[in-house]
């Protein structure tokens, strides 16, 4: 009998979760252990001081929960006159090759972290093992080290100016001689000590205890906005998942205030009327339909941003209005297409874990710390987040949020069920490409009847700002047709992390446990028999 299967962004991350499954743990034990382990196994992508979401399904009673432990805007109890001067908040430019992006880092880029609180709450509510047990793999990795690896080094090089911004963080990542080298063995003894204490003392250590004091002392000394009230008032929110029918399946995903789940659900509602399974995969017709659904979802998105109400956004009348426009445009191929508004960019550095256990319990868990804030909290080994330093998440300007307000996100951990039975757990990193990556995996698995490996590894597209991004792997005949039909096409010469990292697990109609660690982001799968 299969005890479970886990897909994650690193073989070390996945193995930490698999260890829990071997010992009789459930999907939550595995996901929480893997997430803690990811702080060491994927240190250039995730960090303890970030936030995230988990969507869990319990097979025994078919119940599901969305755990929201994303970051809050800081500054509770401070008036603008009480803000530190100067603020530790400064720009760095990241070179992605074809494009550059400016981020802000420093102490004032740190939002109130929720990840530790969320993992502890999730484990306490739904896990079987004590917190101290699920922390053991992460503590082992922190003491003995994990190679950064080729992908981790690649991400580190992209974010070089952030990881080189402070002597302590440079040293942590191998400076001076092995800085961000793939073979560098990443260790963090201070973090190991902190995690051991966490297993004994629980999350109060981070939000009211000695670690909270270290975080606050560093914020006060160097010009940050986090306050004692921010940490003490932080709460994990447990929400009802957003539900959407597609064919004879049920989609469960992240509800508002996050937007990714609603946008995926809207795209599926538009596609419901089309016989996707009858269209050859990778044909120009297939890519055109996907492109126009993405365009129409972008156009409809304005309604969601105004109302923040998924019921209104997914109402039959609203979907029908946009479905009619979509059908008209597909019928009149080559005519002028409407401009789509530029969407806000989201956190690039995100990782995802999916687990299915032998009892049919499913969990999808996505986390991010932004690009990290470029420093380590002294004496703790803790790296926090720079969510306040991402300009596209703050259209009204930097540092103008309401203290205590949960910040929005595109992250969309998603589950698919059929007749109350588990089918698929999927999620992704990749900023605005999160929703398009998840959408295409679902379509490949359900409509094109691909096994999960091929559903995840198949080439993808992404459409925004009137440009169609096409990943390497599609035929040039289809690409040339799309160009002839008037699309502005960019063809990528290789597969790339730009198109997400949809680490997924599922159970086939025959009952076989499947998993796929997306190779775009060095994903790995472990099946436990």
- Over residues 355-370, the pLDDT tens digits come to 999 999 999 999 999 9
Please give the average per-residue pLDDT across 217-241, as a whole number. Answer: 97
DSSP string computed for 74-126: --TT--GGGS-SS---EEEEEE-SS-EEEEEESGGG--B--HHHHHHHHHHHH
* Distance of alpha carbon 271 from alpha carbon 266, whole angstroms: 9
Peptide bond into 489 cis (omega under 30): no
User: Looking at the predicted structure, is the pLDDT value of residue 268 above 90?
Assistant: yes
User: Looking at the predicted structure, is the pLDDT value of residue 441 above 60?
Assistant: yes
Check residue 100 and give its pLDDT: 65
- Sheet strand arrangement including 249-253: 242-246, 249-253, 414-418, 421-426, 504-507, 513-516
Q: Which two tokens stand for residue 174?
A: 């191998």
Contact in structure between 134 and 20 (CB atoms under 8 Å): yes
Please give the average per-residue pLDDT across 256-265, as a whole number. Answer: 94
Strands 51-58 and 185-186, by their bridges, are unpaired
CATH of 239-346+412-528, one of 3.40.50.10090, 3.90.550.10, 3.40.1160.10, 3.60.20.40: 3.60.20.40
Please give the share of the chain, as a percent, with pLDDT higher than 70. Answer: 95
User: Looking at the predicted structure, is the pLDDT value of residue 399 above 90?
Assistant: no
| Arithmetic mean of pLDDT over the chain | 93
Q: Using one digit for the tens of pLDDT, what is the confidence trace for 315-337?
A: 999 999 999 999 999 988 755 56
* Range(s) within the chain of domains with CATH label 3.60.20.40: 239-346+412-528
Please measure the distance between the N-terminal and C-terminal CA atoms of the chain and give it in whole angstroms.
Answer: 6
Question: Which contiguous run of DSSP H or E holds residue 138?
Answer: helix 131-144
Task: Give φ, ψ of 245 to 5 degrees.
Answer: -85, 140
Residue 392 — very low, low, confident or very high, per pLDDT cuts 50/70/90?
low
Q: Using one digit for the tens of pLDDT, what is the confidence trace for 166-199?
A: 999 999 999 999 999 999 999 999 999 999 999 9
Check residue 401 and give its pLDDT: 86
Q: Residues 350, 368, 372, 414: which is the catalytic one?
A: 350
User: Looking at the predicted structure, is the pLDDT value of residue 346 above 80?
Assistant: no
Question: Which contiguous run of DSSP H or E holds residue 1?
Answer: none
Check residue 341 and give its pLDDT: 60
Contact in structure between 270 and 318 (CB atoms under 8 Å): no
E strand segments, 227-333 = 237-239, 242-246, 249-253
Contacts of 512 (CB under 8 A, 6+ apart): none
* Distance of alpha carbon 309 from alpha carbon 46, whole angstroms: 30
Rg (C-alpha) for the chain, rounded Å, is: 22
Helices (H), 145-188: 149-158, 160-163, 167-172
Check residue 343 and give its pLDDT: 52
The answer to whether residue 350 is catalytic is yes
3-class state of residue 431 by DSSP: coil
Please give the average per-residue pLDDT across 73-81, as a whole number. Answer: 90
Task: Give φ, ψ of 256 to 5 degrees.
Answer: -55, 150
Please give the average per-residue pLDDT across 207-233, as a whole number. Answer: 97
pTM: 0.95
User: Looking at the predicted structure, is the pLDDT value of residue 56 above 90?
Assistant: yes
């Amino acid at each position: 009998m299969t005890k479970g299967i886990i897909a994650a962004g690193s073989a070390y991350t996945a193995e930490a979760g698999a260890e829990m499954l071997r010992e009789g743990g459930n999907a939550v034990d595995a996901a929480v252990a893997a997430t803690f382990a990811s702080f060491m196994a994927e240190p250039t992508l995730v960090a303890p001081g970030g936030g995230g979401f988990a969507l869990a399904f319990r097979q025994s009673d078919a119940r599901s929960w969305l755990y929201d432990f994303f970051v809050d805007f800081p500054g509770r109890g401070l008036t603008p006159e009480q803000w530190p001067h100067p603020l530790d908040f400064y720009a760095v430019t990241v070179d992605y090759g074809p494009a550059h992006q400016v981020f802000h880092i420093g102490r004032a880029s740190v939002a109130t972290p929720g990840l530790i609180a969320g993992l502890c709450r999730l484990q306490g509510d739904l896990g079987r093992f004590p917190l101290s047990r699920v922390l053991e793999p992460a503590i082992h990795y922190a003491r003995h080290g994990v190679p950064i690896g080729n992908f981790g080094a690649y991400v580190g090089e992209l974010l070089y100016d952030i990881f080189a911004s402070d002597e302590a963080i440079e040293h942590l990542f191998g400076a001076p001689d092995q800085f961000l080298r793939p073979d560098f063995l990443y260790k963090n003894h201070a973090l190991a000590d902190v995690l051991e204490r966490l297993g004994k003392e629980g999350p109060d250590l981070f939000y009211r205890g000695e670690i909270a004091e270290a975080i606050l002392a560093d914020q006060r000394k160097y010009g940050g906005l986090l306050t004692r009230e921010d940490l003490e008032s932080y709460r994990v929110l447990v929400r009802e998942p957003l539900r959407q029918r597609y064919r004879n399946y049920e989609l469960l995903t992240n509800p508002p205030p996050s937007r990714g789940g609603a946008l995926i659900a809207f795209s599926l509602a538009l596609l419901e009327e089309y016989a996707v399974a009858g269209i050859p995969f990778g044909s120009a017709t297939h890519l055109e339909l996907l492109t126009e659904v993405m365009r129409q979802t972008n156009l409809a998105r304005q309604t969601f941003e105004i109302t923040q109400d998924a019921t209104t956004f997914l109402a039959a009348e609203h979907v029908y209005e946009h479905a009619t426009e979509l059908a008209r445009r597909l019928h009149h191929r080559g005519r002028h297409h409407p401009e789509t508004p530029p969407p806000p960019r989201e956190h690039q550095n995100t990782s995802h874990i999916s687990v299915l256990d032998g009892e049919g319990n499913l969990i999808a868990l996505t986390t991010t710390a932004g690009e990290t804030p470029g420093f380590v909290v002294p004496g703790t080994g803790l790296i926090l987040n720079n969510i306040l330093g991402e300009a596209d998440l703050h259209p009204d300007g930097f540092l103008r949020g309401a203290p205590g307000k949960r910040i929005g996100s595109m992250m969309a951990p998603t589950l698919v069920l059929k007749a109350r039975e588990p089918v698929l757990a999927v999620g992704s990193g990749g900023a605005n490409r999160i929703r398009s990556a998840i959408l295409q995996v679902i379509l490949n698995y359900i409509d094109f009847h691909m096994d999960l490996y091929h559903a995840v590894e198949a080439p993808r597209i992404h459409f925004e700002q009137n440009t169609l991004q096409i990943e390497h792997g599609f035929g040039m005949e289809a690409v040339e047709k799309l160009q002839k039909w008037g699309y502005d096409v960019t063809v990528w010469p290789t597969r790339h992390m730009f198109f997400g990292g949809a680490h997924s697990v599922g159970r086939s109609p025959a009952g076989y446990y499947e998993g796929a660690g997306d190779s775009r982001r060095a994903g790995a799968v472990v099946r436990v028999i």
